A and B are shown apart, each in its own frame.
Chain A
Amino acid sequence: MMLAIKEAATDLSPYVRKTAAHAIQKLYSLEPDQKEHLIEVIEKLLKDKSTLVAGSVVMAFEEVCPDRIDLIHKNYRKLCNLLVDVEEWGQVLIISMLTRYARTQFLSPWKQDEILEENCEQAFYGSDDERNNKNVPASKPYVMDPDHRLLLRNTKPLLQSRNTAVVMAVAQLYWHLAPRSEVSLVTKSLVRLLRSHREVQFIVLQNIATMSIQRKGMFEPYLKSFYVRSTDPTHIKTLKLEILTNLANGANISTVLREFQTYVKSQDKQFAAATIQAIGRCATNISEVTDTCLNGLVLLLSNRDETVVAESVVVIKKLLQTQPTQHSDIIKHMAKLLDNIAVPMARASIVWLIGEYCERVPKIAPDVLRKMAKVFTCEEEIVKLQTLNLAAKLYLTNAKQTKLLTQYILNLGKYDPNYDIRDRTRFIRQLIVPNEKSGALSKYAKKIFLAPKPAPVLESPFKDRDRFQLGTLSHTLNTKTSGYLELSDWPAVAPDQSVRNVEVVEPFTESTTLAGKVKAAKPDDAFYSGSGEEEASGSGNESSSSEESGSDSESGSDDEENGRKKSSSDSSSSSSSSSSSSGNESRSSQSESGSKKKNLKKKNPRKENKKSGKNESENDETTKRGSKTKTDSVSSESEESSSEKSSSSSESGSEPETDSDSGTDQKKQKPKPKKEETREAREKTTKQEVSLLDLDDFAPVSMAAAPRPAMLSPSLITDLEGLSLLNTSLTIDVTSPVYVPAKSHELLHRMSGKGLAAQYHFPRQPCIYSSDMVSVQVTLTNSGDQKVEDIHIGEKKLPSGLQIHDFNSIESLEPGASITVSMGINFNDSTQAANFQLCTKSDQFNVSIQPAVGELLLPVTMSEQDFRTQQGKLTGMNESAATISIAPENSSSRAIVHKVVTAANLGVVPSAEDRIHRFAAKTVKAADLVLVTVELKEASTAQLLINTEKTVIGSMLQRELKAVLSQG
C-alpha cells in the first residue's frame, strides 16, 4: 500500500495525486505506525501546485499530523494564492488550518488597533518595504507581517461564496486573525447566511451570538435582521432574542423593548419566558431603562399565563437585588401574589425576597411566614428551603412576633421526608436558637444570615463560548469534542518569518541557464495561480515572484544599494542583511531609494542623498512620500518581475558582476508600449516630487499643504487607474478641485481642550491613505502655556462603515506652536459624524467631524455628451428637480459657478449654452456619479436638477445648493 501511495503521489495526473492524498488517511487509520512514511508523502504532496490536490492533502495533513506546522512554512504563500481556485470543501479545511497556523506564526494585530495602516495597503496593494517606510519613522512597534496580510486579502473574496461553510470559515478567520477594524467586513455576509436553511441559520446565529457579546458594533446596523418571526422554530427564536439582547444599548433600547413587548405576548410560552429574561438582562445592562423595565415586568405580574408571571417574578427578584432601596411597594405587591402563584421557582423567589428585605416590610413579612407555615408540608423542596430561611431571618430581626412560628416551622422541617431539608433545619436551629450547647457561632447568626449579598450578574449564556474557535462543532455544543484542536494564543515574539521564503530549488529554476526557458515557465506559473494572482495585483510581485525566485526582489535592490559589492548569488542571506545594512540612512529612505533605483539607475544616488538629508522633516511629508513610493512600486511591477527573471537566469550561469545590468539591458531592448507610458508618467511624478520637496522646506506647513497635493495626487491617481487591469468603459477622470474653500471648522475649542485647540478643513484632494476616504486636515494649536505631549487619536466610536485613518501621533507641541496633520476618513457616503477621541498624554477629548455633503464628492471631468448620456441613465427615482429662486447678485454665470463649487466639490462640465451650467462629481466611497444641472429661467428663478443613484446625497445636496444660491 505504502508503495502504491508513493507511486501515485508522483503521478503526472493531478487526479491521481488527489486520490493518493485521500488514500493517505485511509492507510493511516488502518495502520498508524506508518505515520512517519505517510508524513513524507504529505510533505511531498503539499508542494504540489495543483488546485485539485491542495484540498485533499490538507485534509490528510489535518488527519495525520496536524501538529507538524513546520511542513506548512514553505507552502504557506502558495496555499494562500491557490485558495480561491480550490474546490469549496477544500477551501473550508485549508482556511481552518491556516487560521491555526497564523495564530502561531504572526504577532497579534489587536494590540495596536488604532493603527489603520491596513487601509492604505488595501487601496494600493502595498508591499512590505513601504510598510517599513511608513512605520519606522512613526516609531510604531507593530508591523503586520506581509504574509499575514496576504492571507487576509486572499480569503476576502471567498465571503461571496455560495457555500455557507466557506463563508463561515472566512468569518472565523477574520474574527481570530484580522485587526479589530477589519472584522466587520464579514458582518454582511454572515447576515446574508440567515436567509438560508433553518439548520444553517441555527449555526450562524450561534456564532453571531458569541461575536455580538464582544463586538456589539459589528451587528448593530443589522439589528432588524434579528427580529423574530412567529414562524421561526423555537431554538432560532431564542438565539435571535439572545442577539437582540446583546446588541441593545442606550440608543436602540426603546426599539428593542418595543419589539420585546410583542414577543412577550407570543403564543409560544417558552419563548415568552425567555423574552422576560432578556428584558431583565437589558434592564441590568442599561441603567437608563431599569425603571421602565421593572414597571413593565410588574405589569406582567397580572398576566394570565402562569409561566410568564413566574418568570417575571424571578427576573424582578434579580433586578431588585441590584437596587433594593426604593422598591418596597413592589415587594408588597409580590407578597400579595404569593396566594395565586403555583410555580415553585417563583414562590421561592418571593419568599426569599421577603426574607432578604424583611426589615423594609416589617408588617407583611411575619404574615407571609404565617401563610407559608400553613402550607409548608405541601410545598416543593425549594420553597421549603426558602421558608426556613425566611423563618430564620425573621427570628433574628423580629423575634417577638415570630418566635413561635419559627419553632413550628423548624419542627415541621425536622420530620420532613427530604434529608436536605432536615439537614438545613438542624443547622438553622443550632445557629439561631440560644441554648447552652450552642457554640460561638450563634453570636454571629445575624451576620451570617443577613449579610449583604452581591447582586447576581445577568449575563449571556454565550459568555463562555468564546474559548472555542468559532464555527467549530465544539463551539456549537459548548463542550470540547474529540479531535478539537485548540487555537493557540498569539506568540509574544514573532517567529522568524524567513522560514516561509521559498528557496530557489524549485524544479524549473534549477534546471535552467537559458533565459528562454525561464520565459517558458511563465505561462505555466500564470496558469496555476490563476485569478489568485490577478487579485493580488500589486502584491503579486511580492508573493508570486518570491515564490519562484525567493527573496530576489529584496536582494536585488539591496545589492545595488551596497554598490553591488555582494554578488547576487547569495540571495538567501540578503534579506537579513538588508535590515542590518541600513547604516547611516534611515530605513524609510533606504527602501524608497531601493525601489526607485531599480527604475532609474544612474540618476539616483544624487537624489537619494538629497532626500535623506531632508528626512527629518515632519510626518506629514513622510507619509506623502510613502504614497509616492507605492505608485512607483506598482508601476514598476512589470519591469521588476522581468528583470528578476533575467537576473535569476543569469545567476546560475554568468558572472555575478554584470547580472543586474544585463538584466535591465535585455529588458530595454524589447520595450513595450505600456512600459514606456508608465515610465513617462513616473518620471513626471518624480520630477514634480523633487520640486515639491524643495517647496516644503520653504513654505509654512499649515496652509501650503492644501493646494500642493491637489495638483499632484490626481495625476497619481490617474496613473494608477491606467495601470490597473480594469477598463471602465466611461472616460471619467477625477480632476483637481475647481475651488478649495479655506473655511475651517472647529474640532476642539481651546477652552474645552485645556489649551489645545483643533480645527479641521477639507482640502478636497483625493485621500492618500485610501481611495474610499475623504482627506481632512487638522490644524492643532497649542494656545495654553504648557507643552502638550503625545497628541494622538484614541478610541473611535464610529457608525458602521466609517473608518478613520489616524494621523501620526505628535510627540510634543510647544506653547503657541501649531501643526497641521492630515487624516483620512471614510464617511461611507453618508453625512454621519465621525466621533473619536483626541488624546494627549494627560487628557482625552471627545470630538467629532461632521462632513458637509459637498465634501463627500470628488470632482470629475466629462464632456457634455457624456454628461447627457449619464444623465439619461439616472432618471426616474434617481433624479430630483426643484425650482429655486436665485438672488439677483448671483445671476451671472461666474457667480453661479463660484457659489456651487464653493458649496460642493463639483467639477465644471464645459457647456455651449450659457444659461445652463453643468457640474459633475462622483461620491468618494462608491464612486457613484452625481450630476448637477442649474438652468437659469426668466427673472430670478432657476431649475436645479440633480441626478444620482445616491438619492440621499442628491436631496441633501439639493437643499444645500438651494440655500447657497438663494442667498446673496
Chain B
Amino acid sequence: MIHSLFLINSAGDIFLEKHWKSVVSRSVCDYFFEAQEKAVDVENVPPVIPTPHHYLISIYQDKIFFVAVIQTEVPPLFVIEFLHRVVEMFRDYFGECSEAAIKENVVTVYELLEEMLDNGFPLATESNILKELIRPPTILRSVVNSITGSSNVGETLPTGQLSIIPWRRAEVKYTNNEAYFDVVEEIDAILDKSGSTVFAEIQGVIDASIKLSGMPDLTLSFMNPRLLDDVSFHPCVRFKRWESERVLSFIPPDGNFRLMDYQVSSQNLVAIPVYVNHNINFKESGSSGRFDVTVGLKQNMGKSVEGVIMTVHMPKVVLNMNLTPTQGTYTYDPVTKILTWDIGKINPQKVPNLKGVICLQSGAPKPEENPNLNIQFRIQQLAVSGIKVNRLDMFGEKYKPFKGVKYVTKAGKFQVRT
C-alpha cells in the first residue's frame, strides 16, 4: 500500500517526509518535479506519475503537494481519498492545513500519520477516534507538555474503535446540548452568450455540528425528500431507513461533520437568480477594446443576493484595464491576467455595472474569443431547490436539545460564456 509520504510546498521544497515501510530516497520526487515543470500550472500536474520503481500519487491542497509513494498495484482512488482524509484531519486539528501550521505542530503531525496508517494500510481515520488517541494541541497543553515532558498521546485504547459505532466517542458530556444543521446548496451552471442556460444543476450538502451528551439517536426528516435524486451519506446514517422511509436516522459523531451530499433531480428546472449582460469586444485595428458588464437580479427571488464576485481570466494580450464600477471595487492583475470585481450585495433598484477600456499589447493580433465570466454569489436563508427540513427528533436521551437549521444557496461552478 502506501510506502511513504512527501509534503512539498509551492517553492518545491520537501518539508516533511514519512515512511511506513522502508525509507524511500527523496530523489524519487525528482520525477514529480519534472512533471510539475512540464505541467506549467500547478493544477495541471497529473495525479498519477509512474517512475521506474515506484508510482507517485499526488494531491494538491492549500498550496501543498501531498505525494504518496507506492510500489504495487492499488486502486488510485484509494490513495487519493486517503490523502484527502489526511488533509481534512490536519484542518480539523490545526484549523488550517498550511505549511506553517504543519511545521508548528510537527510532533502531532507525525503522531497522526503514524496512527492513520499501519504498514501502509489505513488504520484509524475517524476524527473522533483519533482525537481520543491524540489530543488536539492547545496552548495550555503544549506548555504543560514542554514542562513535564509528557506527550499528548492518550493512554487508553479508544472505546469507539471496538464498538459498532466507531465514529462516536463514548461519554460525551455537554452542558448545553445543541444540534445545528447547515443546508448548503450550490448552483453549477453554464450560461451561453445569449444568457440561456446550457447546463445547470443543484448540488447540496448538509453539514452538521452536533454537541449532544451521551448516545443520542437522531432522526431528521424532510418536507419533500423526493427532490433528492442522488445521495451519499456519512457512514452513521442508516441506509435502510432512508430507502424505506426517506428519513435520515443516525447516531451522530461528536462535533462537526458532513452528514450527506445530495444532488437534486435534473428534471426540475433550476432557477438562476442572477442575469449577466455583457459586451466585450476587441477592436480589429489598434490596441484597445471595450468592456461593459452588468450583473442584475432576476426578480423572482424574494431574498437578497450577497457576496457577488465576478472573476474574469483575460487573454494574454490584455495589458491593462481602465474601468469604472457603479458599485463595489475592481482589481486587475496584469501578471496573472485576472480581473476581479467585488460587487457585494446587489440592490434590486440599482443594477451594478462595470464599464471601461481594455488596453492591449500593441502589434499582437486581437484575441478571437472573449473570456468567460465566473460568478460567485450567496443567498442566505434559501435553499434554491426548495428542500426543507421537516423535523428533528431525538431518541435515547432524556434532555431537550437546542436545534437549528440554516439554509444557504451559493454559486458553485457558475460560468457565463461570452
Contact = CB atoms under 8 A, between A and B. Distances in A.
Given A96-B75, A200-B77, A203-B77, A530 B164 contact: yes
B155 interface: no
B294 interface: no
A518 B33 CA distance: 64
Given A473-B75, A473-B76, 6 more contacts: A13-B162, A29-B21, A165-B77, A230-B415, A483-B72, A483-B73
Contact of B233 (A14, A162, A725): A162
B226 A926 contact: yes
Contacts of B71: 482-483
Contacts of B261: 162, 192, 195
A192 B117 CA distance: 28
Contacts of A198: 43, 47, 60
A51 to B, nearest CB: 8
Given A160-B231, A188-B230, A197 B80 contact: yes
B328 interface: no
B59 A197 contact: yes
Given A161-B232, A165-B75, A474-B73, A15 B44 contact: no
Nearest to B247: A729
Interface stretch (A262-270, A318-326, A328-336): A262-270
Interface string B371-407: 1101000000000001000000000000000000000
B223 interface: yes
Interface string A896-911: 0000000000000000
Contacts of B81: 163-165, 200
A479 B50 contact: yes
Contacts of B73: 472-474, 481-485
A849 B373 CA distance: 45
A784 to B, nearest CB: 44
A429 B267 CA distance: 68
Contact of B48 (A22, A473, A729): A473
A481 B164 contact: no
Contacts of A949: 224, 226
Interface string B9-37: 00000000000010000000000000000
Nearest to A228: B190
Interface string B41-52: 101101110100
A708 interface: no
B275 interface: no
B139 interface: no
Nearest to B242: A160
A22 B223 CA distance: 47
Contacts of B70: 473
15 contacts: A22-B119, A26-B119, A52-B161, A88-B235, A89-B125, A160-B232, A161-B232, A168-B75, A227-B190, A230-B372, A234-B41, A259-B198, A477-B48, A481-B50, A535-B240
Q: How large is the interface on B (under 10, 10 to 19, 20 to 34, 35 or more residues)?
A: 35 or more
Contacts of A725: 240, 244
Q: How large is the interface on A (under 10, 10 to 19, 20 to 34, 35 or more residues)?
A: 35 or more
Interface in A272-322: 303-305
A87 B369 contact: no
Interface string A468-481: 00011110110101
Nearest to A484: B73
Contacts of B60: 198-199
Interface in A136-169: 157, 160-165, 167-169
B315 interface: yes
B171 interface: no
Given A199-B80, A473-B75, A481-B72, A235 B224 contact: no
A262 B60 CA distance: 29
Contacts of B59: 197, 199
**Residue with the greatest number of chain B CB neighbours at <10 A, chosen from A96, A200, A474, A479:** A200
Contacts of A303: 368
A231 B415 CA distance: 9
B210 to A, nearest CB: 17
B378 to A, nearest CB: 19
B238 interface: yes
B50 A197 contact: no
B2 to A, nearest CB: 11
A578 interface: no
B230 A477 contact: no
Interface of B: 1, 21, 41, 43-44, 46-48, 50, 55, 58-61, 70-78, 80-82, 84, 118-119, 121-123, 125, 157, 161-162, 164, 166, 190, 198-199, 201, 203, 223-224, 226, 229-235, 238-240, 243-245, 258, 261, 263, 267, 313, 315-316, 365, 367-369, 371-372, 374, 386, 413, 415, 417
A200 B223 CA distance: 33
A56 B230 CA distance: 31
A877 B386 contact: yes
Contact of A192 (B82, B224, B232): B232
Interface in A189-215: 189, 191-192, 195, 197-200, 202-204
A348 interface: no
Contact of B239 (A160, A189, A267): A160
A17 to B, nearest CB: 11
A531 interface: yes
Contact of B190 (A51, A84, A88, A229): A229
A304 B315 CA distance: 15
B83 to A, nearest CB: 8
A843 interface: no
A810 B240 CA distance: 40
A26 B1 CA distance: 12
Nearest to A193: B77
Contact of B75 (A56, A169, A304): A169
A846 B121 CA distance: 54
Contacts of A89: 78, 82, 121-122, 125
Contacts of A728: 244-245
**Residue with the greatest number of chain B CB neighbours at <10 A, chosen from A14, A84, A482:** A482
**Residue with the greatest number of chain B CB neighbours at <10 A, chosen from A163, A167, A479:** A163
Nearest to A304: B365
A531 B239 contact: yes
Nearest to A51: B164
B239 A229 contact: no
B309 to A, nearest CB: 14
Contacts of A726: 244-245
Contacts of A484: 73
Interface in A74-130: 84-85, 87-89, 92, 96
Contacts of B50: 477, 479, 481
Contacts of A474: 73
Contacts of B240: 531, 534-535, 725
A473 B162 contact: no
Nearest to B413: A229
Nearest to B188: A195
Nearest to A531: B240
Interface string A530-542: 1100110000000
A878 to B, nearest CB: 8
Nearest to A159: B232
Contact of A59 (B121, B166, B367, B413): B121
Contacts of B43: 198, 233
Contacts of A601: none
Contacts of A304: 365, 368
Contacts of B46: 202, 235
**Residue with the greatest number of chain A CB neighbours at <10 A, chosen from B47, B60, B118, B258:** B47
A729 B245 CA distance: 9
A877 B224 CA distance: 12
**Residue with the greatest number of chain B CB neighbours at <10 A, chosen from A195, A235, A949:** A195
A267 B75 contact: no
A769 B187 CA distance: 39
A235 B75 CA distance: 19
B52 to A, nearest CB: 11
Given A265-B368, A485-B73, A234 B44 contact: yes
